Structure 1
């Protein structure tokens, strides 16, 4: 199934802006290369305007992007339809789903996450992340696993960056705290890290315990993203075959209502931290 054209444009814009800023290049200089104006670059970078493969190639050269990155971005641009597509359902196949999500996460101003089985990636420790990745790919080269772990940890910089750190709200099912990943030692360190990170002013972690009566049952995890500059609100749903983005207003609103109901049923912030600390103490 083809990727979502809207998400493609937004991802391309985020990636190109990041390259331009890293190259310390002005929007005016970028515009001159593609024969346009600074407002055109602004529209491209905010995902409001498409871009051709030739333009991506010229900008990538200007920004001195690595050859592998340049090839990847040109490939994305080649998937953009020339005409406005009809509304349909799109899915991102593995491995493209991760690179697209990584770009959106980097540009997001607010994220709300409901997790059922595990601690969300933005709050994971090195050992917990390594154990999860190894469980999925037990035969993988250790060097590849370590690169994936480092990528996951690098993503966490969105929580501590100086310019507009990500506002993160997380609702964790008690299952995520009780299910042992790796070992008791790894779990204890992970849960202690979770309590520490939850104390940050831009991070709100709440636990939905088994004991809450008559709450709604939501069997799968979901991530709600808001990107202010791109004027995008979307729901990210992941499974073993890839990922789906829902960005129609009615779709996002429905998930937003469900998330708020789950959050309302969860323990308050301080009680959640106390609960996590108590579970951590049960692990050796």
Structure 2
């Protein structure tokens, strides 16, 4: 085990978020749950807000029993508690977090206040159902139609954080021009997807800019897709959670970078990409132009 400064915060965040949401779902106040678990109110609050590195397994098991968590979910939660004390300069997660309830990125994404995203295909938050189905079907080739439908439905539900009327997440998408020309599904699906991007980019919380082929190689890196997540500040002007950088594993474990130096380095990369993107109006024009070419 490691010191609190060395341990990754990500499993603690996911653990705390799950316990808080489960407690609230049971209609228990922080004080009520703490008394039932024989914890102090401040102690439970520290667990829920990821301020405790050395999580005690017996306390987590007791909370799961109080909240009526199933045996399978309890097993996952306890593994998460164990992972919360593992030292790593980066954090890679695999199948343990692929379940819809415990998906690490989905939980972080839903908690973020701002997302800065660079992609070479349309990201999940802005995909149409047909585009999502084409992608998911290609990746999960041996899955049943019912499983594909379930995955598409879950992906579309995630989009509510962008389109909800109350306090939507701010999304800045830097989309490489290749995404407009890489045909997924069919020309009809591509035309509808690009028209959708042009329309949704009009939302006040969405900024979409095309990164053209002519922009070259930013900072000398072939960096690939990435997402920078910012969780905003509270009423005291303090960070709710530290920002981080996410890289989708694409069949391998997902990668998260948490250190301030790493976040700063990729923020600088995003700034470099942004500086060579076309503006939002021109980006919408390019999307509509490409959509018309597919419909021809």
Scaled by the length of structure 1, the TM-score of the pair is 0.88
After superposition, residues 48-87 of structure 1 pair within 5 angstroms as 48-50=51-53, 51-81=55-85, 86=87
- Seen in structure 2, the aligned counterparts of structure 1 residues 267 and 232 have a Cα distance that, compared at 3 Å, is same
- Aligned counterpart, 2:3: none
Shift in Å, 1:122: 0.6
**Aligned-partner Cα distance in 2 for 1:214–1:52:** 47
Matched, 1:262 2:283: no
Task: Provide the alpha-carbon RMSD of the alignment.
Answer: 2.2
Kept in 1: contact 2:174–2:211 (CA 8 A): yes
Does the residue aligned with 1:223 lie in a helix, a strand or coil?
Answer: strand
Q: 2:242 aligned to 213, 232, 249, which one?
A: 232
Shift in Å, 1:212: 4.0
Does the residue aligned with 2:52 lie in a helix, a strand or coil?
Answer: coil
- Seen in structure 2, the aligned counterparts of structure 1 residues 42 and 269 have a Cα distance that, compared at 3 Å, is farther
**Aligned-partner Cα distance in 2 for 1:55–1:234:** 28
Does the residue aligned with 2:180 lie in a helix, a strand or coil?
Answer: helix
- Seen in structure 2, the aligned counterparts of structure 1 residues 20 and 183 have a Cα distance that, compared at 3 Å, is same
- Seen in structure 2, the aligned counterparts of structure 1 residues 163 and 45 have a Cα distance that, compared at 3 Å, is farther
- Aligned counterpart, 2:4: none
Does the residue aligned with 2:27 lie in a helix, a strand or coil?
Answer: coil
- Seen in structure 2, the aligned counterparts of structure 1 residues 202 and 65 have a Cα distance that, compared at 3 Å, is farther
After superposition, residues 162-201 of structure 1 pair within 5 angstroms as 162-201=165-204
Shift in Å, 1:215: 5.6
Kept in 1: contact 2:89–2:259 (CA 8 A): no
Residue ranges of structure 1 left out of the alignment (5+ in a row): none
- Seen in structure 2, the aligned counterparts of structure 1 residues 73 and 162 have a Cα distance that, compared at 3 Å, is farther
Matched, 1:125 2:128: yes
**Aligned-partner Cα distance in 2 for 1:196–1:17:** 36
- Aligned counterpart, 2:253: 242
- Aligned counterpart, 2:46: 43
Structure 1, 58-67 or 68-77: larger mean CA deviation: 58-67
Per-residue CA deviation, residues 196-236 of structure 1 (Å, 9 max, x unaligned), is 21111111111112244686554411111112364211111
Does the residue aligned with 2:9 lie in a helix, a strand or coil?
Answer: helix
**Aligned-partner Cα distance in 1 for 2:164–2:23:** 18
**Aligned-partner Cα distance in 2 for 1:64–1:87:** 32
- Seen in structure 2, the aligned counterparts of structure 1 residues 143 and 230 have a Cα distance that, compared at 3 Å, is same
Shift in Å, 1:119: 0.2
Scaled by the length of structure 2, the TM-score of the pair is 0.85
**Aligned-partner Cα distance in 2 for 1:271–1:213:** 19
Q: How many residues align?
A: 277
After superposition, residues 79-98 of structure 1 pair within 5 angstroms as 79-81=83-85, 86=87, 88-94=89-95, 96=97
**Aligned-partner Cα distance in 2 for 1:101–1:125:** 20
- Seen in structure 2, the aligned counterparts of structure 1 residues 86 and 78 have a Cα distance that, compared at 3 Å, is closer
Does the residue aligned with 1:186 lie in a helix, a strand or coil?
Answer: helix
Does the residue aligned with 2:142 lie in a helix, a strand or coil?
Answer: coil
**Aligned-partner Cα distance in 2 for 1:91–1:131:** 27
Per-residue CA deviation, residues 148-198 of structure 1 (Å, 9 max, x unaligned), is 111111111111345532111110001111100000111111111112211
**Aligned-partner Cα distance in 2 for 1:87–1:213:** 33
- Seen in structure 2, the aligned counterparts of structure 1 residues 40 and 162 have a Cα distance that, compared at 3 Å, is farther
